[in-house]
Amino acid sequence: MVLSDKTLTCRECGTQFTFTVGEQEFFQSKGLLNEPGRCPACRSARRNGSQSRGQRELFEIVCDSCGRQATVPFRPTQTRPVYCDECFAKLREEH
């Protein structure tokens, strides 16, 4: 089978990029059957975690142990106590 450069469209950003013969040969040598769905820039950003995760949402809480205000990276529920970093660290040391 004769390979030739292919123009693909990135599913992340919609830009067109070239899937070169050399890249196709590399994919074949690694046993990869699917063409890349993302352009090199989006693949790199995804590998580095900068694009897929985005900004992490923080939630304001009042620590159930000391009463200070703090932020946590999860949505607190009424069923479990929520602690500031210092109180959480102290609890972990105790157990």
Domain boundaries, the chain: 6-48, 59-94
CB 9 within 8 A of CB 38: no
In Å, how far are 67, 86, 87, 88 from 94, measured between CA atoms?
Answer: 20, 13, 11, 10
State the average pLDDT for the chain. 89
Of residues 56 and 8, more confidence is placed in 8
- Do strands 59-62 and 69-72 pair parallel, antiparallel, or not at all (unpaired)? antiparallel
DSSP 72: E
Closest-CA residue to 16 (of 26, 5, 24): 5
What is the predicted pLDDT for the residue at 54? 57
Helix (H) or strand (E) holding 45: helix 40-48
Question: What CA–CA distance (Å, rounded) separates 2 from 7?
Answer: 16
The whole-number pLDDT of residue 51 equals 44
30-63 per-position pLDDT tens digit: 999 999 999 999 988 888 875 445 567 889 999 9
pLDDT at 73 over 80: yes
- At residue 95 the predicted structure's pLDDT band, cuts being 50, 70 and 90, is confident
Helical ranges in the chain per DSSP H: 21-29, 40-48, 85-94
- Kindly state the average pLDDT of the residues 13-34: 94
pLDDT band at 78 (very low <50, low <70, confident <90, very high): confident
